[in-house]
């Protein structure tokens, strides 16, 4: 293969193969370090977020953040990111009115 400079196709692919997983790992680590969403914050109150789904009015029995389609925490985690609350984590046991079933 003919390499004409630092941006050959092979070099570019190698950089992408290294860079994409690294970027994902950095994003995941940053999300894991995100602060916990305060249940009394305006954004949480707007969606009726509570840290314990059992205390929520309107939550169907068994529904909680940990089994919501928008929850991004790992399986078995006690808290994790939610697609609705960027830069924050929610409790896996929590709930809000935007709860959606996983497909
Ligand atoms: S959208 Fe889902 S994961 Fe996010 S706070 Fe509401 S119930 Fe929890």
List pLDDT tens digits, range 23-43. Answer: 445 455 556 789 999 999 999
3-class state of residue 79 by DSSP: strand
Closest CA to 103 of 70, 79, 59: 70
For ligand 1, the distance from its centroid to the CA atom of residue 65, given in whole angstroms, is 5
- Helix locations, the chain, DSSP H: 9-32, 42-46
Asked if the model's pLDDT at residue 18 lies above 90, the reply is no
- Residue owning the nearest CA to atom 4 of ligand 1: 82
For ligand 1, the distance from its centroid to the CA atom of residue 27, given in whole angstroms, is 19
Of the residues 43, 49, 92, which should be mutated to test ligand 1's pocket, given the most ligand atoms within 8 Å of the CB? 49
In the prediction, which pLDDT does 64 show?
Answer: 98
- Residue owning the nearest CA to atom 8 of ligand 1: 65
Residue range 34-103, CATH number:
4.10.490.10
For ligand 1, the distance from its centroid to the CA atom of residue 67, given in whole angstroms, is 9
Distance, CA of 17 to CA of 58 (rounded, Å): 45
Per the model's pLDDT, the better-predicted residue between 12 and 31 turns out to be 31
Asked if the model's pLDDT at residue 62 lies above 90, the reply is yes
């Amino acid at each position: 293969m003919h390499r004409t400079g630092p941006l050959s196709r092979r070099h570019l692919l190698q950089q992408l193969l290294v860079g994409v997983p690294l970027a994902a790992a950095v994003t995941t680590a940053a999300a894991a370090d995100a602060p916990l969403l305060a249940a009394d914050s305006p954004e949480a109150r707007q969606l009726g977020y509570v840290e314990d789904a059992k205390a929520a009015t309107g939550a169907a029995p068994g529904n909680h953040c940990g089994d919501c389609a928008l929850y991004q925490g790992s399986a078995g985690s006690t808290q994790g990111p939610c697609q609705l609350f960027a830069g924050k984590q929610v409790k896996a046991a929590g709930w809000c009115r935007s709860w959606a079933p996983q497909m």
